[in-house]
Amino acid sequence: MAQLLEFTVGGLLDHIAARYPDNDALVYVDRGLRYSYRQFNEVCRKVAKGLLRLGVKKGDHVAIWAYNVPEWVVLQFATAKIGAVLVTVNTNYKSAELEYILNQSDSSTLFLVKSFKDTDYVATVNEVVPELAGSEAGALSSAKLPFLRNVVFIGSETPAGMLNFEAIAAMGEHVSDDELAAVEGTLDRHDVINMQYTSGTTGFPKGVMLTHSNIVNNGFNIGECMKFTEKDRLCIPVPFFHCFGCVLAVMACVTHGTTMVPVEIFDPLAVLRTIEKERCTAVHGVPTMFIAELEHPDFPKFDLTSLRTGIMAGSNCPIEVMKKVISQMHASEITIAYGQTESSPVITQTRTDDAIELRVATVGRALPDVEVKIVDIETGAELPPGKQGELCTRGYLVMKGYYKMPEETARAIDADGWLHTGDLAVMDENGYCKITGRIKNMIIRGGENVYPREIEEFLYTHPKISDVQIYGVPDRKYGEQVMAAVILKKGEIMTEEDVRNFCRGKIANYKIPKYVKFVDSYPMTASGKIQKFKLREMAIKELGLEGPGETA
């Protein structure tokens, strides 16, 4: 077994900045922003000191609600340098989801941008925290969110009651290097440093606690699978709030001195322009992103010959898309990765020299220092190659647990330290895995995990709805779409649009049911369990849906 890296996240950046001080660390094409590793580390140190001055302590929870702005990456390392836990908030979230996460995570500080797509973040925060606008910046007292003290705005024209990001950086001038070093000296690589929320079968999102060691080592091994060096340049159009952005991209780069070239909000043209302009050697994306890039009318105008590798993940990769990425985008060493937030996140990945068949038909083999086994769903016994069962993993990559949810943690990680993924898989004799389905009813829509129970719990709050079942149906573009089968209370009338309107502004758009069917009853097993697979089969027939079927 290889030696695991023993750095904290902040210590890693110090090490890489000393090793490759003049190498480009972070480049934003549209902003004309370019930090060398030395400069990037200095900015992160300054913001870390500013956070200390603000009163943020080791172990405090700092939430960030923003798309891929430069401040996001700075905060990932600045919080780590003082041992504060970065809580990543999905950019698609609306008011109910934001309130739940700020409350459940005990976040003391929230960083946010002005808006994203159709959501006004400032208005949403003021809706959730009505006391904010009238409070003194940095001295917030909220009835609903007792832990929240500071709201920090990223951008110009700071709204009432908020501090500004630039002010935090300026506050760092009043904190000495010795004070920062004293805090850094107390950190341990097994401390929790990152918390990401993943929805669950309980219907409520769970805060996955990841440590320095989890994400440093996972990032390093992901980079190794792509053969990253300090000469590589990665175009990052995937969101930072997701492990795809902050680990498969940011940590994979920083562990190797590789250059990060983010795209703030995904746009196929911006990705193509960025790759050409910065001569990127790698690009990440979910299959729908690669499809959008390949099908863009201006695609032939761009010189993408600098590309070599990258990662396609998030849902099943169609073989034709993979072939085009290799032949037309020149990413001949593109890889496939599989995992989940609870495993930091990558469990298996293909290698750059794997045959295309393996890169399309499988999700690769275990990363170094990672154990993978397939077990019988009923007995838990380990299965031989070629037999379908639940994929389990063990090693440095397994999360510390779910925040304040010990019972859920015990359900996910067994007494021997194996994380049970809930995914059905088959492993061949060479260790290559194929994901064949899911034990749980999770829907994967365009790379976003959608958990039916969470939407069901929300729709149960509608006064006209008696019962609701949420399930996935095939979709050519997104892999799967969300469908609702609704039983109304006696004498009530609703339309499909009424159901969707009730969701708008309250839950993320990608969770809103595309299809709604009103029914009188559900297909049941003899023991009274609802058969969602039958609802799905009926919907496919009735709606004439053709698609890729189950996505992994």
How far is it, in rounded angstroms, from Cα 502 to Cα 461? 10
How far is it, in rounded angstroms, from Cα 350 to Cα 425? 16
- pLDDT-derived band at 528 (thresholds 50, 70, 90) equals low
Residue 409 to residues 206, 208, 347, Cα–Cα distance (Å): 10, 9, 18
Contacts of 497 (CB under 8 A, 6+ apart): none
CATH number for 16-264: choose from 3.40.1190.20, 3.40.50.12780, 3.40.462.10, 3.40.640.10: 3.40.50.12780
Taking each helix axis from N to C end, the angle separating 212-225 and 9-19, rounded to the nearest 10 degrees, works out to 40
> What percentage of the chain carries pLDDT values higher than 70?
96
Which pLDDT value is given to residue 552?
29
Residue ranges of E strands in 133-232: 150-153, 163-164, 192-198, 206-211
- pLDDT-derived band at 202 (thresholds 50, 70, 90) equals very low
CATH number for 443-543: choose from 3.30.300.30, 3.40.50.720, 3.30.365.10, 3.30.980.10: 3.30.300.30
Q: Does 442 have pLDDT greater than 90?
A: no
Bridge partners, 211 (sequence order): 192
Bridge-based pairing of strands 150-153 and 370-375 is: unpaired
Residue 257 to residues 4, 37, 40, 254, 284, Cα–Cα distance (Å): 18, 8, 12, 5, 17
- The boundaries of every CATH 3.30.300.30 domain in the chain are 443-543
Output the CA torsion 215→217→222→228 (10° steps).
110
How far is it, in rounded angstroms, from Cα 232 to Cα 253? 8
Structure token pair of residue 216 = 């440093």
- Which pairs from 534-540 meet CB under 8 Å and 24+ separation? 535/469, 535/471, 535/483, 535/485, 536/471, 536/472, 536/473, 536/483, 539/471, 539/473, 539/483, 539/515, 540/473, 540/474
Tell me what the mean pLDDT of segment 257-262 comes to. 98
Residue with tokens 């695991």: 4
How far is it, in rounded angstroms, from Cα 363 to Cα 31? 36
- pLDDT-derived band at 524 (thresholds 50, 70, 90) equals confident
* Alpha helices, H only, 379-486: 406-412, 452-459
Name the CA radius of gyration of the chain, rounded: 23
Least confident of 34-48, 212-226, 455-469: 455-469
How buried is 416 (Cβ within 10 angstroms: 0-12 exposed, 13-18 middle, 19+ buried)?
Answer: exposed
- The boundaries of every CATH 3.40.50.12780 domain in the chain are 16-264
- pLDDT-derived band at 216 (thresholds 50, 70, 90) equals very high
- pLDDT-derived band at 416 (thresholds 50, 70, 90) equals very high
Which pLDDT value is given to residue 533?
78
Q: Does 221 have pLDDT greater than 70?
A: yes
Bridge partners, 382 (sequence order): 375
Least confident of 5-19, 256-270, 524-538: 524-538
Q: Write out pLDDT tens, residues 58-74.
A: 999 999 999 999 999 99
How far is it, in rounded angstroms, from Cα 71 to Cα 55? 19
Collapse the DSSP code of 58 into the 3-class scheme (helix H, G, I; strand E, B; otherwise coil) and give the result: coil
The pTM for the full model equals: 0.85
Contacts of 491 (CB under 8 A, 6+ apart): none
Mean model confidence pLDDT for the chain = 93
- pLDDT-derived band at 526 (thresholds 50, 70, 90) equals low
Q: Write out pLDDT tens, residues 272-298.
A: 999 999 999 999 998 889 989 999 999
Sheet with strand 401-402: strands edge to edge = 163-164, 150-153, 109-112, 61-65, 85-88, 192-198, 206-211, 401-402
Q: Write out pLDDT tens, residues 3-31.
A: 799 999 999 999 999 999 999 999 999 99
Q: Does 527 have pLDDT greater than 70?
A: no
Which pLDDT value is given to residue 406?
96
Q: Does 383 have pLDDT greater than 90?
A: yes
Q: Does 127 have pLDDT greater than 70?
A: yes
How many CB atoms sit inside 10 A of residue 541's CB?
9
Tell me what the mean pLDDT of segment 99-128 comes to. 97
Q: HSE (CB half, 13 Å, CA atoms) of 516?
A: 23
Q: Which residues of 216-230 are buried (b: 16+ CB within 10 A; e: fewer)?
A: bbbbbbbbbbbbbee
Output the CA torsion 26→32→36→41 (10° steps).
-60
